[in-house]
Amino acid sequence: MAACALLGVVVCWEVLPGYHEGFSLRGHLRQAVKPRPGPESIAQLSGNPGVELVCFPHRWDSASFYLPHAKVVVFGPDEQLAMENHLRQNPDALLLMKPGRVLNQFLAKFPTRSPRIENALGAVAVTRLEERGLTRNEGKVE
């Protein structure tokens, strides 16, 4: 009986945090909306609900739970073109999408943007498309 209790404690202590990290959006959303230096960070710190979440191929309910003031836009499987246009018009939006082939193919449509992906190995990738910086060699966009 004591061995079972010890096994239960070890599983809770060692296994569950990794499981939680892979399947929960809380930490990844918080990391993605962490204030960055600049004028937009002042707006974020003042409670401005300027965060926009783009969900594909369905709404991720926990995103609204962890960011209740965020604007959530949902695109279905047959609306990839509309989602691409929306992200071009709203470059600061966070994309919530399953990681894998479909996400990689979609991100390839944005050659001048560099994806910053949180939770790339989990159930849902939280992605922000950021402008690529200039290279030191040629002064051209990477």
pLDDT for position 80: 92
Share of the chain above pLDDT 70, in %: 62
30-44, 82-96, 112-126: least confident range = 30-44
Q: Is 12 helix (H, G, I), strand (E, B) or coil?
A: helix
According to the model, what pLDDT value does residue 46 have? Answer: 39
43 close to 25: Cβ distance less than 8 angstroms = no
Task: For the chain, give the mean pLDDT.
Answer: 74
Q: Residue 136's pLDDT is what?
A: 42
pLDDT in the model for residue 138: 39
pLDDT digits (tens, 9 = 90+) for 49-68: 578 999 999 998 888 888 88
pTM of the predicted protein model: 0.67
Q: What value does the mean pLDDT take over residues 61-80? A: 89
Of residues 131, 118, 102, the one with CA closest to residue 32: 118
pLDDT of residue 41: 47
Q: Give the Cα-Cα-Cα angle 28, 102, 89 (nearest 5 degrees).
A: 70
